[in-house]
Structure 1
């Protein structure tokens, strides 16, 4: 249990500093926007690019890894969608947003800082493999589904263009693709460039956690709590549980199973709010879901780490 505390305590303290600083007015929304832009548009993309270029991946099949993570993700997404639509009687678009919140992990602000810290640097390869298609697949699927739901009678001629523009404007996706393409050239990186990337990478974890804490200070519990609780249960417990059992059945190695399970255990990602705001579909549900999911993940992630350590 002390290992769990030692892993999570610095993460929680950094996030709490960001939260308190924002609540007290020392760190305002304009400050957070600037730091967030640095994290999302510069620091994390540079970290992903340099890590991919310098990785020496083991020559093993990755099919079971992707299946273990993305099959449960798709199922949890559909469960959230149908519960929102059939039981909660929400619109098709809002039901899609609920499905997104139930299945989309906070990979950047929590997954990347926490998972290598808990599992070691060897966790980076399977983690980056999963993240490399995380945004592409989910962003595309959700955008297509929402546009179809909203434009049933208006035509979908602009849909491919909209999806493509969304993908190529995402710095995380661009950096991963660029990293894989650069690695194919076998050119490598100059030592000066490597040192520069290393300097940037050391800033990712504290900056990301500070932004996460500050963001939580801006969110609040509002509107209907029912959908947010449902999303939290699906995201924090059902998703990692399904990944763990499927990964175990498929025979994933201990490390890869741990990475996939921990990534699934990350709370609801900020993209739920971005989609809700973009389409003006119940942003209060999104902020409440992110807040409850993130706070409760302190407990659920601790439980996941204990299970993985004793599994």
Structure 2
């Protein structure tokens, strides 16, 4: 347990330091702009490129893994969406943001750093695959559902073009695609370029976690939404359990890949859910509260999950 604590506490400690710094050092929210730009456009893309480009190409074509993990995530989305729509009688737009809050984990900021620390470099490929394909679907689902709800204005063709542009030009997806091409052709960057990529990749996790803590501090908890009582169990418990069951049932995956997918599924709600709510003027304050609460509770739930994995109490495949 001491080994798990030594892994998790520094990780969440970076989030706490970001939170504490933002509370003590008053800066406008706009001050985060350049740090977020560095993380999204340089540091994390460098990390994805570095790890994917050095992976054997045949490991990058596991579409059975991608399909299983993405379908599991959207099963959770559907369940939370239905709970909001039919049990709470929320609007289509509100139910969509709730569904994303229950299924859209922090796989961008928290995922790579935690998975690589806990499971090593073999976790890089499943992290990149899950991130890219889940985000492609998130980029499609959110505007499509908001269009159905009447929150997205514009012609269908223009909307489709806007979605395609977000997908094709996203730096994480571009860097992963570059990594796939590099793996296929066995490209080896020149030494100065490789050192620059290494420097950027090493900065990804600490900068992303610090930025996440600052973001949480800038959105203080004002009230606990009633929907939190089914969103939190769905995100922190149901999502990883279903991921574990589905991937074990489909089978024939590397144990590290299964553990990586389960770990990513157990992460708290992504800060992008608040961004989506803010973009469409829907469920903003409650999305912020959900992110804060799931992040705080995930300290315990993720620590427990890592302990179960490390102690061998969670077999890599339930149905060998």
TM range (shorter): over 0.9
Whole-angstrom CA distance in 1 between matches of 2:33 and 2:228: 25
Per-residue deviation, 1:146: 1.7
Residue of structure 2 in register with 1:246 after alignment: 246
Residue of structure 2 in register with 1:19 after alignment: 19
Per-residue deviation, 1:28: 4.9
Superposition pairs for residues 63-82 of structure 1, below 5 Å? 63-82=63-82
Per-residue deviation, 1:66: 2.1
Deviations 1:270-295 (A, max 9, x none): 11011101101020111011001111
Does structure 1 conserve the Cα–Cα contact (< 8 Å) formed by 2:240 and 2:263? yes
Does structure 1 conserve the Cα–Cα contact (< 8 Å) formed by 2:36 and 2:211? yes
Deviations 1:27-77 (A, max 9, x none): 553432221221112211122123222222555862442244222211100
Per-residue deviation, 1:117: 0.2
Per-residue deviation, 1:26: 5.4
Deviations 1:214-252 (A, max 9, x none): 111112223452123322211111000100111222223
Whole-angstrom CA distance in 1 between matches of 2:284 and 2:219: 10
Does structure 2 conserve the Cα–Cα contact (< 8 Å) formed by 1:44 and 1:204? yes
The total of aligned residue pairs comes to 311
Per-residue deviation, 1:101: 1.0
Does structure 2 conserve the Cα–Cα contact (< 8 Å) formed by 1:18 and 1:210? yes
Residue of structure 1 in register with 2:172 after alignment: 172
| 2:296 is aligned with 1:295 | yes
Residue of structure 2 in register with 1:217 after alignment: 217
CA RMSD of aligned residues (A): 2.1
| 2:122 is aligned with 1:122 | yes
Whole-angstrom CA distance in 1 between matches of 2:193 and 2:175: 15
Per-residue deviation, 1:128: 1.5
Whole-angstrom CA distance in 1 between matches of 2:26 and 2:87: 43
Superposition pairs for residues 89-104 of structure 1, below 5 Å? 89-104=89-104
Q: Give every structure 1 segment of 4 or more consecutive aligned residues whose post-TM-superposition deviation is greater than 6 Å.
A: 151-154
Task: Look up the SS of the partner of 2:298 in the other structure.
Answer: helix
Per-residue deviation, 1:152: 9.8
Per-residue deviation, 1:84: 0.9
- CA pair 202-151 structure 1, distance change in 2 beyond 3 A: closer
Superposition pairs for residues 186-265 of structure 1, below 5 Å? 186-251=186-251, 252-265=253-266
Task: Look up the SS of the partner of 1:108 in the other structure.
Answer: coil
TM-score normalised by structure 2 residue count: 0.90
Per-residue deviation, 1:307: 2.3
Whole-angstrom CA distance in 1 between matches of 2:59 and 2:300: 36
Residue of structure 1 in register with 2:317 after alignment: none
Task: Look up the SS of the partner of 2:282 in the other structure.
Answer: coil
Per-residue deviation, 1:98: 0.7
Task: Look up the SS of the partner of 1:225 in the other structure.
Answer: coil
Alignment gaps of 5+ in structure 1: none
Residue of structure 2 in register with 1:161 after alignment: 161
